Structure 1
Amino acid sequence: GVLPVVKHMPGHGRAGVDSHKSLPVVDTPRADLERIDFAPFRALRQMPLGMTAHVVYTALDPGNPATTSAAIIRDIVRGTIGFDGLLMSDDLSMQALNGTLGERASASLAAGCDLALHCNGRMAEMEEVAAEVPVLSGKPLARSKAALARLTEPSAPVDTDSAYVKFSEWLATA
């Protein structure tokens, strides 16, 4: 009864800082990114939902993180990787991005994200973001409907007590 979200496109593994706190900059050549970093995303390109990375890739767009880079979203995420699912920004309230929350929302949508996410629950911030985003329509709406159409009912009810025990066992072995 849940859908997977492939994240953080086009890759976050080379980021040397936490994008919750500052903007990572990756100086890896494009050929290496395409051969190594993009491979898992190409393999998962048919998934219904994806999320961008608040990371600057100097070989792709030295001036913008992927979330606000039309070149990266168009040429890499939609092009090289071939992802055509619903693409959402990472949380706009993270410190990696510049500008007001409204400017961040507008920039992510202008770059090609279908949805602009704000996740910290602060009402004034949510209102600022909401004031800048349009009603879902066109290709983003079609992608949203296609993703939701992939939802299925669970084959059996979830036993949360049993799941918690199993989860605790996994954590104990990690």
Structure 2
Amino acid sequence: MTSRAFITGVSGLELTAAEREFIRGELPWGLILFKRNIEAPDQVSALVDEFRSLVGEVDAPVLIDQEGGRVARLGPPHWPVYPPGATFGALYDLDPALGLKAARLSSRLIAADLIDLGITVDCLPLADVPVAGADAVIGNRAYGTQPAKVAAIARAVTEGLEQGGVLPVLKHIPGHGRATADSHFRLPTVDTAREELERTDFAAFQPLADLPMAMTAHVVFSALDPAQPATTSATIIRQVIRGGIGFQGLLMSDDVSMNALAGSIADRTRAIITAGCDMVLHCNGKLDEMRDVARETPELADEALGRAKRALAARKQPEPFDRQAGRAELEALMDRVGTA
């Protein structure tokens, strides 16, 4: 059977009977994990394994947001703390080669943590370029404020994940850095001229257009489409994401349950698919909403199916890696930032 074009969250540390029935019947393409789903390594591995068993795909993608800093679903006592993206930017300013090395090493260590649990996709890197006055939702998650620097560090982060056998998801395309509101709570509108967006925000994503997957921004760009955020804008997806930026990989929405989007969950899901996203992401684990998403998403087919297959085929086997030595090296690099 063919998977449906959505990625689902679940409610807790283990699947309920109703969730098992839902997953077995609706066949979501992937599972995304949050802190509410994570207690200990064996428990996470069991949850991942059961999901894959229910959908009948041993390599079904399991996703997580493990960036470092304040966006980290895994943490002590079982998993290390990693620095936020801005730390790599600060080291890059001191020595670009060391900044890239630290970014690559951090994501390589994160990948090792994830692969141990069977998690094969990390929603990283960010290529958002924040500006003065923007909402703090991006803040120190960003690598910097110059597009070329952001793209270079994002590439290093991607390399570390890929070397560890984890697929990256580029976000939040075509840019969340100018948003003056947190799209978890309300819809941001950016009134910047298209020429400036192309020179800054969009420019950070262009060198990363070859990545296998990307996640949209729930942001209105009034110069391009004053009525719809990028996630539900056929104009932005066609002209900017697929066109100007040149991204041809699997395009997933940011979380369909975020308050930036209007209408019912069913309405939002239809709008996301109609606009040209390949995949709907639903995160909160509410079963009634999960059912609405499933009803409104098609089975993967045609171009979306091809992109999904190519994305999964891009995952590499982890390269040999001395985790203890890598962690010591990362700590030494972080000390360089602290003493600068």
TM-score, length-scaled by structure 1: 0.91
User: Which residue number in structure 2 is paired with residue 40 of structure 1?
Assistant: 204
User: Which residue number in structure 2 is paired with residue 54 of structure 1?
Assistant: 218
CA distance in 2, matches of 1:95, 1:62: 18
- Partner AA of 2:280 in structure 1: A
CA distance in 2, matches of 1:99, 1:156: 48
Give 1:23 shift. Answer: 0.2
Which of 291, 295, 313 is residue 149 of structure 1 equivalent to?
313
* Cα RMSD, aligned residues only: 2.1
CA distance in 2, matches of 1:53, 1:155: 32
- Partner AA of 1:39 in structure 2: A
1:94 aligns with 2:258: yes
CA distance in 1, matches of 2:230, 2:251: 12
Give 1:73 shift. Answer: 0.2
What is the CA deviation profile of residues 91-119 of structure 1, one whole-angstrom value per residue up to 9, with x for unaligned ones? 00100000111111110110000001101
Give 1:158 shift. Answer: 8.0
- Partner AA of 2:215 in structure 1: M
- Partner AA of 1:144 in structure 2: A
Give 1:155 shift. Answer: 1.4
User: Which residue number in structure 1 is paired with residue 284 of structure 2?
Assistant: 120
CA distance in 1, matches of 2:258, 2:302: 28
- Partner AA of 2:294 in structure 1: A
For residue 131 of structure 1, give the secondary structure of its aligned residue in structure 2. Answer: helix
Give 1:156 shift. Answer: 3.2
TM-score, length-scaled by structure 2: 0.47
Which of 133, 147, 150 is residue 297 of structure 2 equivalent to?
133
CA distance in 1, matches of 2:281, 2:188: 19
- Partner AA of 1:23 in structure 2: L
Identity of aligned residues (%): 54
Give 1:126 shift. Answer: 0.7
User: Which has more radius of gyration?
Assistant: 2
For residue 109 of structure 1, give the secondary structure of its aligned residue in structure 2. Answer: helix
Runs of 4+ in 1 over 6 A off after TM superposition: none
User: Which residue number in structure 2 is paired with residue 11 of structure 1?
Assistant: 175
Which is richer in strand? 2
Q: Call closer, same or farther: CA 1:109–1:170 in 2, change over 3 Å.
A: farther
CA distance in 2, matches of 1:170, 1:4: 23
Give 1:40 shift. Answer: 1.1
User: Which residue number in structure 2 is paired with residue 67 of structure 1?
Assistant: 231
Which of 240, 248, 253 is residue 76 of structure 1 equivalent to?
240
Q: Please, which runs of 5 or more residues in structure 2 have no aligned partner?
A: 1-164
- Partner AA of 1:75 in structure 2: Q
Q: Please, which runs of 5 or more residues in structure 1 have no aligned partner?
A: none
Higher mean C-alpha deviation, range 150-159 or range 68-77: 150-159
CA distance in 2, matches of 1:63, 1:8: 19
What is the CA deviation profile of residues 75-106 of structure 1, one whole-angstrom value per residue up to 9, with x for unaligned ones? 10000110000000000010000011111111
Give 1:124 shift. Answer: 1.2
CA distance in 2, matches of 1:120, 1:170: 34
For residue 185 of structure 2, give the secondary structure of its aligned residue in structure 1. Answer: coil
Higher mean C-alpha deviation, range 117-126 or range 60-69: 117-126
CA distance in 2, matches of 1:159, 1:103: 46
For residue 251 of structure 2, give the secondary structure of its aligned residue in structure 1. Answer: strand
- Partner AA of 2:276 in structure 1: G
Give 1:159 shift. Answer: 5.1
